[in-house]
């Protein structure tokens, strides 16, 4: 039925970032509401950030609109314009192709939660603002490279021990 | 900037329903967050329902995914499965083409608020569950007819005085 049974939709950790970059989002847990509800045209995720957690590396999307609504707690939205406090009810939107890299950071000592929506598109390119990395997504999955398309190297993504 | 200044985005009333049917949503006020934030791929609206208010006539979409998150207050989700209480944090999703007509009704004595997301598509058809009406939307705007395509008649949409 349309009303979702939230108790049956787990919050999952994990990251698609390569190598040691995956550590960046260790404090992020995602509940995939849209997928659970059978939606295919856009994703809707509830995201919980533990203290110190990041929503992502700072990035922007070329093809996909993105929208966030703060649900609980306090986060700092960091983008090219600076830092912006986000509390319950606050909203932000990032139209596809606008090159303003952004992420949300939890600097408090309690978890914080936001809802995020992102279009599903057959292909996508996103750029990372603070490191020389981009990601392309298509039917073959994610491909992370430098912004010129060359491979990432050990100094960028070497394992946890380097 | 991506963070929205909610104080600058008004809650507006009004309805595109023809004739007297527009009265059905007299208690509904919509804040168009996605439009204000420059999003084009889907709409994101904050919707406030006053006591007695309806989100819409009960309907389902053929081409557009729809998602709702309750933000404040209590509403009743009515669909083909019956009635479901919706309180802050509760979510519902309606995949495009699933013929389960739905709407939200405020039976309490205080306003209630929910966030709703709907895909923007070049064309759309929606069917109304409780009356003989459908709507088609395209570059020419909304067109409300009976489900067989014939015009609505005065007994359906006659003005307030009939």
The reported pLDDT for the residue numbered B162 is: 45
Residue-level pLDDT at B26: 97
Q: Which tens digits make up the pLDDT trace of B51-93? A: 999 999 999 999 999 999 999 999 999 999 999 999 999 999 9
Interface predicted TM-score (ipTM) over 0.90: yes
Does A6 sit within 8 Å of B93, measured CB to CB? no
User: Are the Cβ atoms of B92 and A4 closer than 8 angstroms?
Assistant: yes
Chain B residue with CA closest to A115: the answer is: B69
Report the pLDDT value the prediction gives residue A162, as an integer from 0 to 100.
45
B102 contacts in chain A (CB < 8 Å): 2
Per-position pLDDT tens, chain A of length 162: 799 999 999 999 999 999 999 999 999 999 999 999 999 999 999 999 999 999 999 999 999 999 999 999 999 999 999 999 999 999 999 999 999 999 999 999 999 999 999 999 999 999 999 999 999 999 999 999 999 999 999 999 986 544
Min Cα distance A29 → chain B (Å) is 17
| pLDDT score recorded for residue A159 | 65
| B86 part of contact set with chain A, CB < 8 Å | yes
Distance CA B91, CA A8 (A): 13
The answer to whether residue B160 scores a pLDDT higher than 90 is no
Contact B91 A67 (CB under 8 A): no
> Nearest by CB to B2, which of A36, A100, A115?
A100
Dihedral sign (CA A157, A63, A39, B80):
positive
Q: Which residues contact A30 (CB under 8 A, 6 or more apart)?
A: A11, A12, A13, A45, A46, A47, A48
Residue B123 in tokens: 């064309």
Domain definitions of chain B by residue range = 6-122
Going by their DSSP bridges, the two strands B134-138 and B112-119 should be labelled as unpaired
Q: CB of A62 within 8 A of CB of A125?
A: yes
Q: A84 vs B1: CB contact, 8 Å cut-off? A: yes
Query: What does the pLDDT look like over B95-112, one tens digit per residue?
Result: 999 999 999 999 999 999
- Choosing among 3.40.50.920, 2.60.120.10, 3.40.50.140, 1.10.760.10, the CATH entry for B6-122 is 2.60.120.10
Q: Does B77 touch chain A (CB under 8 A)?
A: yes
Number of neighbours of residue B161 by Cβ within 10 angstroms: 5
Question: A-chain residues within 8 Å CB-CB of B37?
Answer: 67, 91-95
Spell out which residues of chain A touch residue B38, defining contact as CB-CB under 8 Å.
Answer: 93, 95, 98
């Amino acid at each position: 039925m349309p009303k979702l049974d939230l108790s049956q939709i787990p919050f999952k950790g994990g990251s698609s970032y390569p190598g040691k970059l995956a550590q960046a989002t260790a404090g992020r847990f995602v509940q995939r509401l849209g997928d659970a509800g059978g939606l295919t045209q856009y994703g809707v995720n509830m995201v919980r950030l533990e203290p110190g957690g990041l929503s992502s590396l700072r990035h922007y999307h070329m093809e996909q609109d993105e929208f966030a609504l703060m649900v609980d707690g306090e986060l700092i939205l960091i983008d090219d314009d600076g830092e912006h406090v986000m509390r319950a009810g606050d909203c932000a939107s990032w139209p596809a192709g606008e090159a303003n890299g952004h992420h949300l950071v939890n600097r408090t000592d309690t978890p914080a939660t936001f809802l995020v929506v992102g279009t599903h598109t057959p292909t996508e390119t996103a750029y990372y603002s603070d490191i020389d990395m981009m990601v392309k997504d298509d039917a073959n999955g994610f491909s992370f490279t430098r912004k010129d398309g060359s491979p990432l190297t050990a100094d960028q993504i070497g394992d946890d021990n380097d």
